[in-house]
Amino acid sequence: MTVTTIAGMPQVDPDLLPSEEDVRGYAEHGWYLSKRLFTDAEVDALVEASEGFYAGERARDLPSRPPNLAYWEPSQGPVQRHNDYVHYESAAIAAILLKPVIGAVAARLAQASQIRVFQSTLIYKPPTPGEVTNLVPWHMDRHYWQTCTSEAMLTAFIPCHDCGVEMGTITMIDGSHLWKEIEGDDSTRHFARRDRSELESILRQTAQANGAEVNSIPMEIPKGHMSFHHCRIYHGSGHNVSDRPRRAISLHLQDGENAWRPYHRPDGSLLTYNHDTLVRKTPDGKPDYADPDFCPVLWSA
C-alpha cells in the first residue's frame, strides 16, 4: 500500500482509514466505528486536559457567549456537562483532539476533499443512574445546523475510555439518515429544551411513515477508537449505570464545501447558529464557516 503525502498535511497511515466496504457501510447505515486512532497516552492526556478545563484553565476565552451556548460551570452541579467550543478555548484539548487522521477518516466517509472542524463539545455524564440530564433523546444533528448548506456533515464521537451500554454510550438508529422526514414543529430547538416523549414519538412516526424498523445500535467503542455518524441519523444515549464518569468529546465536522445559508424557523424568524455571532464575515457579509480561528481545517487533499 502506498502512503500519500499531501502538501502541508501530515502523513496518515492508510491502514487507519475506512476501507471501500466501510465507506459503503457508512452510506447504508449512517455510522462507522473507527480503528484505533488515538494511543492510550493520547486518550489519557485528553482526560487530563479536560480536567484542567473543568478546573478553569483556558488558553483563550470566547469573545462573547452566544445565546444557545452549552457551557457547564461548577455552579450547575452534578448534572450532565456539555461545553461547546473546547477546541477554541483549550489549547491542551485542541493539541490532542485535532488529529489530522480524524479528518482523513471523515473525508473518506463524507467523500469530501476537505474537512474542517464545525464544533466540539466536551461531555461528562456523572455515574448517577437516575440523573435525568444524562439522557440524550433521539435527535439528528442536522436540525441544529440548518444554517449550513451541507447535507454531508458528520460527527466523531470520541470517548476517553472503553465505552459501552453500561456507561450510556451513543446509540444509533440504523439507516435512519435515509428516512424522509414527517412534518413537525420547530425541529431546530435543542433536545435539552424539548419534551423527551415528543422526540420518542417523532422517531416512531417517522419510522412508520418510511416503512422502516427502529433498529437501535449502541456503539461499543474501545479506548482510542471513535464512532462517526451522519448529520441526518437519529441517535441518542441512556443512563450511565457504571461506577465511573462517561467522558467524551463530540467533534462535529463539516466538508470543505459547507457554507452559511439563511434559514427561517416556522414562525418566520431567521435562525442563528452560535457561530453567527462569533466568526468573521465573508466578503459578502455572511458568517464565514471557514474562519480558521473557530473552524480550522483538519484535513485537506
Q: Which residue has the cell 479536560?
A: 50
List of residues 6+ apart from 297 with CB closer than 8 A: 103, 114, 115, 116
The percent helix, strand, coil of the chain (3-state, each to 5) is: 30, 25, 50
Nearer to ligand AKG, 114 or 119 (CB): 119
Q: Please select the residue that binds ligand AKG; options are 136, 173, 207, 290, rule is CB under 6 A.
A: 136
Residues in the interface with ligand AKG (CB under 6 A) total 10
Q: Please select the residue that binds ligand AKG; options are 32, 138, 157, 289, rule is CB under 6 A.
A: 157
| Least distance CB 235 / Fe ion (angstroms) | 6
Nearer to Fe ion, 71 or 301 (CB): 71
For residue 112, what is its C-alpha cell?
A: 469530501
| C-alpha dihedral (158, 159, 162, 166), degrees to nearest 10 | -120
Site for ligand AKG in 64-83 (CB under 6 A): none
| Least distance CB 94 / ligand AKG (angstroms) | 18
Q: How many CB atoms lie within 10 A of CB 268?
A: 6
- Under the binding rule (CB under 6 A), the answer on residue 237 touching ligand AKG is yes
Q: Give the angle 255-260-261 at the CA atoms, nearest 5°.
A: 120
- Under the binding rule (CB under 6 A), the answer on residue 226 touching ligand AKG is no
- Nearest-CB residue to ligand AKG? 237
Q: Please select the residue that binds ligand AKG; options are 37, 96, 102, 123, rule is CB under 6 A.
A: 123
- Under the binding rule (CB under 6 A), the answer on residue 250 touching ligand AKG is yes
